Amino acid sequence: MDINQFYSRPNEKPLDQILADGGFCGIFRTIGCIGDSLSSGEFESFENGVKGYHDYFDYSWGQYLARATGANVFNFSRGGMTAKQYWESFAEQSGFWAEDKLCQAYIMALGANDLFGLKQEIGSAADVDLENYDNNAPTFAGYYAKIIQRLKSMQPKARFFIMSMPHDDDEAKNALKDKHAALLYELAALFDFTYVLDFARYAPVYDKAFKRNFYLGGHLNAAGYLLTGRMVSSYIDYIIRNNPEDFTQVGFIGTPFHNSTAKW
């Protein structure tokens, strides 16, 4: 056995190794996926000239991740979701703040509808009041941080993985995606145990060849959601291997116990 394959490796990039079983992402037994259509397994139909949108959660990348790792994964998502809508109504109406829905880890994939649909001001870390999230500015940054802050107030030691958007062939959109990614790094610096899944930098470009293989209309197909699930879990595995001291006490998240000699 070569134990070195389970350690961090010099010059390794986050998606150099794509794992079918999710690797060390499997240390989490409960994971919440907060997102929009691409977190919901949305497929596009096209019949009689009419386009339809359908959330098939069993095909979401979160559920592919669940089947690979054995974790219990919640889809806290819906097609068209924005951080503003999630905060103001959707999470409450859906019961997602309930104690029995608290998770050891959260993966957040919001921003596409906020910035390209709603065209909301992106904002910055300066929009976040760490003492009282009700004072956050009404920007994407403010609403996004509110979600993290409320969940951290309920599950203080949960780990957060916040996802940027992969590039495609549209350079104007890519520039805004890069601003979104930069904001996520700002927000990650505000909170403990919060890590960026930087798909804008490390995921493949979603070009014509990629879309031919992995898209159905403007959304992913089944193979695309499976691939995304493997990319997400492999990226998390990379983060765990490169920051092992941050994850030694994951098994205690949500319990009254901890080990005072280790990072918590």
pLDDT digits (tens, 9 = 90+) for 108-135: 999 999 999 999 999 999 999 999 999 9
Which CATH number goes with the domain that contains 171? Answer: 3.40.50.1110
**pLDDT tier for residue 52 given thresholds of 50, 70 and 90:** very high
The answer to the question of residue 259 being in a domain is no
Summarize the confidence of residues 177-185 as an average pLDDT.
98
pLDDT at 49: 86
Query: Percent of the chain having pLDDT more than 70?
Result: 100
Total of domains in the chain: 1
List, in sequence order, every residue forming a beta bridge with 30; answer none if it has no partner. 72
Does the residue 235 lie in any domain? yes
Number of H helices, E strands in the chain: 9, 9
Q: How many CA atoms lie within 13 A of 20 on its CB side?
A: 0
On whether residue 224 sits in a domain, the answer given is: yes
The pLDDT, as a whole number, for residue 235 is 98
User: What range defines the domain where residue 233 resides?
Assistant: 14-241
Q: What is the DSSP letter of 3?
A: G
Task: Please write the tens of the pLDDT for every residue from 5-38.
Answer: 899 999 999 999 999 999 999 999 999 999 999 9
Q: Which string of b and e fits 154-179 if b means at least 16 CB within 10 Å? A: ebebbbbbbbbbbbeeeeeeeebbee
Question: Are the beta carbons of 181 and 196 closer than 8 angstroms?
Answer: yes
DSSP element (H, E) containing 152: helix 140-154
Write down the pLDDT at residue 183: 98
Round to whole Å and give the CA distance between 177 and 235. 19
pLDDT tens-digit series, residues 196-231: 999 999 999 999 999 999 999 999 999 999 999 999
What is the chain's alpha carbon radius of gyration, rounded to the nearest angstrom? 18
The answer to whether position 248 is within a domain reads no
User: Is residue 247 included in any domain, yes or no?
Assistant: no
Question: Does 190 reside within a domain?
Answer: yes
pLDDT tens-digit series, residues 131-177: 999 999 999 999 999 999 999 999 999 999 999 999 999 999 999 99
Question: What would the pLDDT profile of 76-92 be if each residue is shown by its tens digit?
Answer: 999 999 999 999 999 99
Closest residue by Cα to residue 68 from 106, 14, 19: 19
Q: Flag whether 171 is in a domain.
A: yes
Q: 237 in a domain, yes or no?
A: yes
Average pLDDT, the chain: 97
